[in-house]
Structures are given as C-alpha cells and as structure tokens.
Amino acid sequence: MRAFDYIRAGSCKDALAEAETPGTAFIAGGTNLLDLMKHEVMTPARLVDISRLDLRGITLTDAGLRIGAMVSNSDLAADPLVRRHWPLLSRALLAGASGQLRNKATTGGNLLQRTRCYYFYDTAMQCNKREPGSGCAAIGGFNRIHAILGASDACIATHPSDMAVALRALSAEVELLAAGGGRRQVPLAAFYRLPGDTPHVETVLEPGEMIAAVLLPPAEGGRQIYRKVRDRASYAFALVSVAACLRMETGRIAAAALAFGGLAHMPWRSAELEGALIGEAPSPALFDHAADLLLAEAKGQGDNDFKIPLARRTLAAVLAEATAEEGARA
Amino acid sequence: MHVTLTINDTKHHLELDPRVTLLDAIRHHAGLTGTKKGCDHGQCGACTVMVNGRRINSCLSLAVMHDGDAITTIEGLGTPEALSPLQAAFIETDGFQCGYCTPGQICSATAMLEEIRAGWPSHVSETLDGPALPTEAEIAERMSGNLCRCSAYPNIIAAIRLAAAEREDAA
Ligand SMILES: Cc1cc2nc3c(=O)[nH]c(=O)nc-3n(C[C@H](O)[C@H](O)[C@H](O)COP(=O)(O)OP(=O)(O)OC[C@H]3O[C@@H](n4cnc5c(N)ncnc54)[C@H](O)[C@@H]3O)c2cc1C
Ligand code: SF4
Ligand code: FES
Ligand code: FES
C-alpha cells in the first residue's frame, strides 16, 4: 500500500474542506477502498475518515425515508421500517457480501464501490478505467462477469452492488454535499454514467463532493422481490439480479418497476419493458415479450453470452412470482 | 500516529503508520496472534474480530480508524481454563481440523448468535419479520463469510447449534 496522510473529520464541513485538496479520498467502511489500495489500484495521497460523521440516521419524513450515508448495510437491512415497507432493499442487502462486511460497509460506500473486473484489479493489465487510454483487456479476454447492455469499446465492466439495484427499482435519490455549503439531490437514474469513452468517470459526483444521504420515496403497495443468480449460494457477486416492485389490480399489472444487476455499468432499468407490462394480464408470452424489450440491444462478449438467456429466465421467474395469485404463491 | 485500542479490556497505546490494518495492529503490535490472516482482502473471515460488539474483517480496516474502540479477539472470549460456550462446543463436536480458521469462526459465531438474538433476518429467512432461529440453513448462510480450507463445515455448524441450544436451555 502506498503511504498516505490520514485525517479524521469531525464534521461534514471539515470533511468537505479537507477534500478540496487534490488526491484526497473519503474513507467510510473501507471494505472496497482498502482492498483496492492494497492492490495499488487506488492510490490516494490523503484519506479523510468520514466514518464517525453524524450521518447514521434512518428517518421517516413526509417525502419518504432518509438514510444517512454512514448507515451500515447491516443496520439498514435490519431496520424495522425498511423491513416493513421496503423489503426489497433489505433483501438486496442481505444477498450481498457477508455478515462481517455488511457490518462495516456503508450506504454511501456501497453505491460507490468499484467494479470487480479482474483486469481492473490487476495493475499489470491494460484497463481504461484504471489507466485511461491504456486499453481494455477484458474485451477479447476473460469476460464472464462483464456487461451485455450499455457497454462501449472502451469498457465492458459491470457495477457490482446489489443494494444499488434495489434502490434503482425504488426510484431512490442521492443527496450530495459540496464544500462551501452546496447541496443537491440527484435521482439514482442520473447518478451513474455509462462507460462511453470515459469509463474512469463512473458517476456525476464532482471531485470533493460527498454523499450525505439516500432518499426513498414513499413505498407503493404491491410485491417486492430481489432475485440474485450467482456462482455459489452465498458470499458471491451477482451474475444477474432482478429487483421488482409490482402491483396487481383485478388480474392485471397496475404498476411495475424493474431494475437489473450484473448486466451493465450501472443498475439497469427499461421504461419500454415496464410500459409493456402495465395493464396486461400476466402470461408466459408477456414475460417473453418483456425480455425481448430488455434484451433487444444485448451483446455478449463470448464468456458472458450466457447472461442473455439467464436474464430472460430470471426475469420470467421474478414476474411469475410477483404476479402469482396470493394462494398460488410458493 | 498515536492510537489507543482497548483489546480484551486491556488498553494498548500504539504508535502506528496509518497503513497498518487493525489485523496487523492486533497481531504484530499488540502481540495477540490468535487472530489469523488468511487472504488479507476480506474474502476468508480468518481475521474476524468484534469491534464494539460487532464482527468485522480486521484486515479491511485501518487501526487508526479504531482509536478508542473496544476490540474482542479469540483471546478475550475465553481461556484454556475457562472456555467460552462456543470454544467448548467446537472441541465437543470436533469443529476443526488444522484450526487456522477457528479463531475467526468462533469470533464470528459469537457475534452472529447475538445478531440472531436481536432478530436480524438473513438471506435465507422465509420472512423478514422473524423470529430468527439458529437452524442449519440460517447458520450456514450467516457464517458464509468464514471459509474453512479443511471443509470442517458440518462440525462447525454442529458446534454453533450446540452452543445456541445450550444458551436456549440456560435462558
Ligand atoms: C469479499 C467481498 C465480497 C463482497 N460481496 C458483495 C456482494 O455480493 N454484493 C455487493 O453489493 N457488494 C459486495 N461487496 C462489496 C461491499 O458491499 C462494498 O465493499 C461496500 O459496500 C463498500 O462500502 P464501504 O463503506 O466499505 O466503502 P469504502 O471502501 O469506504 O468506500 C468506497 C468508495 O466510496 C467512496 N465513499 C465512501 N463513502 C462516501 C461518501 N459518503 N461520499 C463520497 N464518497 C464516498 C470512497 O472514497 C471509495 O472510493 C463485497 C466485498 C468484499 C470484500
Ligand atoms: S472492462 Fe473496464 S474495468 Fe475491465 S479491463 Fe476493460 S476498461 Fe478496465
Ligand atoms: S484475512 Fe481478513 S478476510 Fe481473509
Ligand atoms: S480447520 Fe483448517 S481451515 Fe478450517
């Protein structure tokens, strides 16, 4: 690990002022950043410790739920309000990492965790995300975990977070703070960026900006499901995941929000797919049509071709479960 | 930098480079070698300790970030003369082979049983509303962050179930 200066922030204001110095990174749980620093994939010259900041609250407001950026993944998953009204979020968190990691991992850090692309981690290999302009070793290399949607010639990495997929389906927003008192709110839909020709720029976060909170709109009724497909039953990242919020009315789909993990550089949502479900009665043909809309532009890279049929099947399984009549549910 | 760690109720005043992980501080600077290093990247759980009662991977945390925190390692759970219930259960059920993963397994399980007691759900829980029970499936899922290279899993799970049952009886 490269040497760095360590600064413990006493307040958000302090942290933001410290972050104005170039080469500074925030550290929260440290479970992703320290891993990458040990590999020298990330080499910040200064670390500002924000783990003790007073951003640990989970509060219900008229606008929905406000989740402080320092709330741990464990506390969020176990929160009574979240369990009751946003079970999708609990389920996605519990499907990720391990008990030990969830105790440390924070809401803000989870959103900003970097890709698990093997070449990103290996400083001997070409990677445009780690070293802009160096090339992408995953294209034409081992790419089993890589993207089938929204990728570019510069980068085919996926975003690894389970939590972010649930938050995308729940239409969450992110509250950002900047030095000098700036505060803005960005929908998660606009927070992440596709790789394009700048895969090292992953979000709209400006240098020095800090995530203060995640905001959830009031929960809509209906069923919430998180389905994660991975190489082993626990403690593994998603190959494909589906987060669904779906409401039925008299045998027809009245509302549907679906987000997908493992497919792209960010949690993926398709307005076309959701639009095609509304007002329809569930049927295998409808689910197949939905998958056609989701995967129309899907492109495999060789090793990850299997994700195309896997996404289709996982979507169908989730839709079948979400639309099943109460008594018929397994 | 100056860091004070309370490890197993003893204060340790340490002078550390900010790069020193909590794991290396415990092993090399405080001299408590019960806690093990397997992967050093959060993937195996051998380094599991409790910080303020919660289990974490000490390899993925900086010691300087834990200034003032209370840390419990395997040495703090029990002694050869006075074993903790989980330590005794691991011996009873033969919950190890080489023993390398065992300190992490026991620290993890100690905190995990408290999580169950607090009603935290898991990935395999049928409902999120509880009650959380120490079934075989629940223990396997909740302990998935602790790998065992010898694959002593059946007896590790048996040990944890035994300790959980004994606690039920005592309660
Ligand atoms: C073995 C292993 C398995 C895992 N499995 C899964 C899995 O299955 N699913 C899953 O979703 N995740 C998984 N993870 C990843 C884990 O969820 C992340 O490491 C964790 O959520 C990161 O949170 P943190 O608080 O530790 O972030 P940190 O490591 O502290 O920070 C991550 C990044 O975010 C920045 N940052 C942190 N907080 C803020 C803030 N408030 N404002 C601005 N910037 C900030 C940091 O500068 C850094 O760049 C796994 C990790 C490991 C090691
Ligand atoms: S896919 Fe992206 S992260 Fe992976 S090697 Fe290519 S540029 Fe780097
Ligand atoms: S040594 Fe910390 S998880 Fe392996
Ligand atoms: S007993 Fe050998 S690694 Fe678990």
Residue B45, pLDDT above cutoff 50:
yes
Contact B61 A49 (CB under 8 A): no
B140 touches chain A (CB under 8 A): yes
Q: The whole model's pTM is what? A: 0.98
Residue A329 has pLDDT above 60, yes or no: no
Return the SS3 of A16: helix
Q: What helix, strand, coil percent values describe chain B, rounded to 5?
A: 40, 15, 45
Judge if the beta carbon of residue A114 lies within 6 A of ligand 2: no
Q: What is the mean pLDDT of chain B?
A: 97
Confidence tier at B167 by pLDDT (50, 70, 90): confident
pLDDT computed for residue A330 by the predictor: 46
Residue A136 confidence (pLDDT) above 90: yes
- Mean local confidence (pLDDT), B107-117: 98
Amino acid at B89: A
The one-letter amino acid at A288: D
Q: Which two tokens stand for residue B149?
A: 């290279």
Closest partner residue to B65 (CB to CB) among A3, A30, A84 is A30
Domains of chain B in sequence order: 2-75 (3.10.20.30), 85-170 (1.10.150.120)
Judged against a pLDDT cut of 60, whether residue A328 lies above it is answered with no
Spatial separation of the C-alpha atoms in residues A130 and B71, rounded to whole Å: 35
Q: Is the pLDDT of residue B63 over 50?
A: yes
**What residues in A contact B123, CB-CB < 8 Å?**
91, 94-95, 234
What pLDDT is recorded for position B168? 81
What distance in Å separates the CA atoms of residue A45 and residue B80, rounded to the nearest whole number? Answer: 45
- What tens digit of pLDDT does each residue of A256-293 get? 999 999 999 999 999 999 999 999 999 999 999 999 99
List the Cα angle A47/A32/A86 in 5-degree steps: 115
Pseudo-torsion of CA B38, B34, A236, A322, nearest 10°? Answer: 180
Secondary structure element (H or E) that encloses residue A59, with its range: strand A58-61
How many angstroms separate the CA of residue B19 from the nearest CA in chain A?
7
Non-local (6+) Cβ contacts of A169 within 8 A are: A88, A243, A244, A245, A257, A258, A259, A267, A269
Distance CA A119, CA A142 (A): 9
Please tell me the predicted confidence (pLDDT) of residue A49.
Answer: 98
Calculate mean pLDDT across residues A130-152.
Answer: 98
For A65, the 3-state DSSP assignment is strand
* Other CB atoms within 10 A of residue B92 CB: 16
Tokens linked to B58: 């000490």
Q: How far apart are CA A19 and CA A4, in angstroms?
A: 14
Residue among A193, A199, A122, A118 at smallest CA distance from A153? A199
Mean pLDDT for chain A?
A: 97
Tracing tokens 């395997």 back to the chain, one arrives at: B74
Question: How far is residue A130's CA from residue A110's CA, in Å, rounded to a whole number?
Answer: 19
Instruction: Tell me if B120 sits within 8 A of A102, measured CB to CB.
Output: no
What is the pLDDT confidence band of residue A220, given thresholds at 50, 70 and 90?
A: confident
Ligand 4 cavity residues, CB under 6 Å:
B 96-102, 148-150, 152
| Contact with chain A for residue B136, Cβ under 8 A | no
Which of A1, A98, A104 is nearest residue B144 as measured by Cβ atoms?
A98
Q: What is the mean pLDDT of residues A191-210?
A: 98
Report the percent of chain A where pLDDT is more than 90: 97
Q: Which of B57, B62, B129 sits opposite A100 (nearest CB)?
A: B57
A235-253 tens-digit pLDDT: 999 999 999 999 999 999 9
From B36, B94, B96, the mutation candidate for ligand 4 (largest count of ligand atoms within 8 A of CB) is B96
